[in-house]
């Protein structure tokens, strides 16, 4: 109590965090915040359940409603299983990116309730609040992917190029999802309410996911949209996963990301992570200063 009082006095009556303790302190603080958010998720299981329902619905609807009507380059006959193998990489990628809206809403909710102000009074590094939140969302996304993979296997999706490459594909998906969660974090810090964060987090995701190769080959798109789709970071990850899973790729483009999708996916994800983590942490510091 004496130490807390002394800290309060030096901060002019308000508690202030200690100076940063370096990378080790930052990692420790981030893990503590991540644990707090995971416990919170366990206490509200409906959030996890509803997060599972949407991607499962997409799998069922696209597999059985559109599967027999959308041809895939190289497909012989009208076998819907071919399209399901083509589809699943897109559904996986859509699932990890749509988690962005939840990340933004969670941070906006914490800001709205004043929880961030409480974190400011603790001796912790500033960036740990955002890092811990995004790490907790990454764990939830990984669990969602696990359940979704089981559903995909049930409807006929298969891995044809070995388990190690499949793990690499899921690694790229989680990296993309983690990078995009920082976009959600920035949106959550920029808006005033969780509702606005949810809406703002979804508006840009729909064109990103649908102007891509996730659900249909880009060869049928107008030239301009096809160029956008081929250079879309979402498309690069989808194509990389199809390549690593050994699923139908439907490639008729000579754009660099489509010819080198694994490298393109990795570079895009790291670039997005670097840029938006920097912007989100800077915004967080100015919002809580």
Q: What is the pLDDT of residues 9-39, one digit of tens each?
A: 344 444 444 445 577 888 888 888 888 888 8
Q: What per-residue confidence (pLDDT) applies to 117? A: 67
N- to C-terminal Cα distance for the chain? Answer: 25
Lookup result for tokens 């929880």:
115
Mean pLDDT of 216-245: 91
Whether residue 114 contacts residue 276, with contact meaning beta carbons closer than 8 Å, is answered with no
Give a yes or no: residue 108 inside a domain.
yes
Give a yes or no: residue 265 inside a domain.
yes
Give a yes or no: residue 189 inside a domain.
yes
Give a yes or no: residue 26 inside a domain.
no
Give a yes or no: residue 276 inside a domain.
yes
Number of separate domains in the chain: 1
Q: What per-residue confidence (pLDDT) applies to 13? A: 40
- In this prediction the pTM is 0.85
| Structural domain harbouring 206 | 43-287
For residue 237, is pLDDT > 90? Answer: yes
Q: What per-residue confidence (pLDDT) applies to 9? A: 38
34: Cα within 13 Å, side-chain hemisphere: 17
CA angle 9, 118, 179 (to 5 degrees): 130
> In Å, how far are 55, 65, 66 from 61, measured between CA atoms?
10, 5, 7
Give a yes or no: residue 269 inside a domain.
yes
d(CA 142, CA 103): 14
Q: What per-residue confidence (pLDDT) applies to 106? A: 79
User: Tell me: the pLDDT tens digits for 189-226?
Assistant: 888 787 888 777 788 888 999 999 888 888 888 989 99
Confidence of residue 142 (pLDDT cuts 50, 70, 90): very high
Give a yes or no: residue 11 inside a domain.
no
Give a yes or no: residue 143 inside a domain.
yes
Q: What per-residue confidence (pLDDT) applies to 7? A: 40
> In Å, how far are 8, 117, 192, 251, 264 from 174, measured between CA atoms?
41, 30, 28, 23, 15
Confidence of residue 8 (pLDDT cuts 50, 70, 90): very low
Q: What per-residue confidence (pLDDT) applies to 12? A: 40
């Amino acid at each position: 109590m004496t130490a807390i009082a002394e800290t309060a006095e030096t901060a002019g009556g308000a508690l202030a965090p200690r100076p940063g303790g370096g990378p080790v302190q930052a990692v420790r603080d981030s893990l503590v915040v991540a644990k707090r958010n995971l416990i919170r998720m366990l206490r509200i299981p409906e959030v996890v359940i509803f997060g599972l329902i949407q991607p499962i619905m997409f799998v069922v609807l696209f597999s059985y409603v559109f599967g027999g009507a959308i041809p895939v380059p190289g497909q012989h006959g009208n076998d819907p299983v071919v399209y399901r193998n083509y589809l699943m990489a897109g559904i996986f990628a859509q699932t990890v990116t749509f988690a962005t809206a939840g990340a933004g809403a969670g941070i906006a909710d914490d800001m709205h309730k004043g929880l961030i102000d409480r974190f400011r009074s603790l001796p912790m590094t500033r960036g740990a609040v955002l890092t811990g939140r995004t790490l907790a969302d990454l764990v939830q996304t990984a669990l969602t992917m696990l359940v979704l993979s089981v559903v995909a296997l049930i409807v006929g999706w298969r891995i044809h190029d070995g388990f190690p490459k499949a793990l690499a594909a899921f690694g790229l998906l989680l990296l993309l999802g983690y990078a995009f969660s920082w976009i959600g974090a920035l949106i959550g810090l920029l808006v005033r309410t969780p509702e606005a964060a949810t809406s703002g987090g979804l508006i840009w995701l729909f064109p990103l996911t649908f102007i891509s190769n996730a659900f249909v080959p880009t060869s049928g798109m107008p030239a301009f949209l096809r160029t956008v789709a081929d250079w879309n970071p979402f498309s690069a990850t989808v194509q990389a996963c199809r390549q690593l899973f050994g699923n139908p790729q439907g490639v008729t483009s000579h754009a660099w990301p489509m010819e080198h999708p694994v490298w393109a996916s990795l570079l895009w994800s790291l670039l997005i992570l670097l840029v938006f983590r920097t912007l989100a942490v800077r915004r967080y510091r100015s919002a809580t200063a």
